[in-house]
A = this chain, B = another copy of it.
């Protein structure tokens, strides 16, 4: 059984473990059980017909006396590319729009309020090739590109906040960015969040295409809650999650593109740790499938040139501030994860654990300011 055939960790546990052990295993691995969310029959049928996985879960919070519940529904979409990577670019983009359109329609049937797509969702993740052409042609204006217009239509039609991570071309200077466009449910572009940390690892030195983002740790106040977007490699940096949280994020999305051999054992750890440490919800989204490129490329690992860089393992999930999480979506199929969450949980967990109050942040600000100097003297005791 190889990495790309194994469908789901959770399904495997469910089908082999005896009931009593299963519940203990799930408690230790995933925390307080995430309840299933009843989804409308029309949505279930449509997902089945359109050949994608649809799963729904909900995180509850305690009832409070002074605040009503703040229950909202978030949708995470993971998908493979639709056409082959050598199809005409506009065809590839249009096919992806069409696929996402039919998945978002199902999200709307499920009452989703905020939806987020995977990293650079309109294109193959071609940055392994190190070719500029034709991949830079996928880049679009964040404010006025076709993809943003497409998402604005979805947002208005379904009264849904849309987080659309694309390859951005800033046309004034012809600079490229890896950018999430945040579109309000009114259809207006609320703003954008550029990938804050750029990987130079394995097949990806993405600074061939775009540099570190300059949008800081912006949080977007939407009708359904305060959200932020921490793109892909930024999930390895705890300070990054932390700073979105310090700016007030209640939900942090992590649209990603990552493959099994590189990162799979880290995938369930990092976004979940961020939800725990920052008293917020985190949503980790990864694409699925294997993408083949016409030109071969090498990986700087002494191995032969090849045409794909491995299997994107999907497994998108949502983690809650109480340490619990949903099961992951499939490792192999397109999927929509619908999660209802009561945002009151964030404050309740903060009041319980108080990490922000016990964090001694003023001291860390000083220590870090000191530590980043080139002549920093580390605090090392010797005999």
The reply to whether B12 and A364 contact each other, CB–CB distance below 8 Å, is: no
Residue among A20, A219, A265, A372 with the highest chain B CB neighbour number at 10 A: A265
CB-CB under 8 A from A242, the residues of chain B are 238-239
Q: Is A216 an interface position by the 8 A CB rule?
A: yes
In the complex, chain B residues whose CB is within 8 Å of the CB of A241: 238
A337 at the interface (CB under 8 A from B): no
Specify which of B199, B243, B353 is in contact with A358 (CB 8 Å cutoff). Answer: B199
Chain B proximity of A281: nearest CB distance (Å): 15
A28 B197 Cβ-Cβ under 8 A:
no
Q: How far is it, in angstroms, between the C-alpha of A293 and the C-alpha of B81 when the chains are bound?
A: 61
Q: Does A198 sit at the interface, judged by CB under 8 A?
A: yes
How many chain copies?
Answer: 2
Shortest Cβ distance from A313 into B: residue = B28
Contact among B3, B238, B246, B371 with A273 in the assembled complex (CB-CB below 8 Å): B238
Interface residues of A in 344-381 (CB under 8 A from B): 352-355, 358-362, 364-369, 371-372, 378-381
Contact of A246 among B24, B355, B378 (CB under 8 A): B378
- List B contacts of A269 (CB < 8 A): 269, 272-273, 276, 323
Question: Could you jot down 19 A-B contacts, CB within 8 Å?
Answer: A6-B24, A9-B24, A12-B17, A13-B17, A16-B21, A28-B264, A31-B266, A196-B360, A201-B353, A212-B360, A238-B277, A239-B359, A243-B367, A246-B378, A247-B371, A266-B276, A269-B273, A270-B277, A368-B368
Q: Which 9 A-B pairs have the closest CB atoms?
A: A31-B265, A238-B238, A273-B273, A365-B368, A247-B378, A365-B369, A1-B20, A6-B24, A266-B323
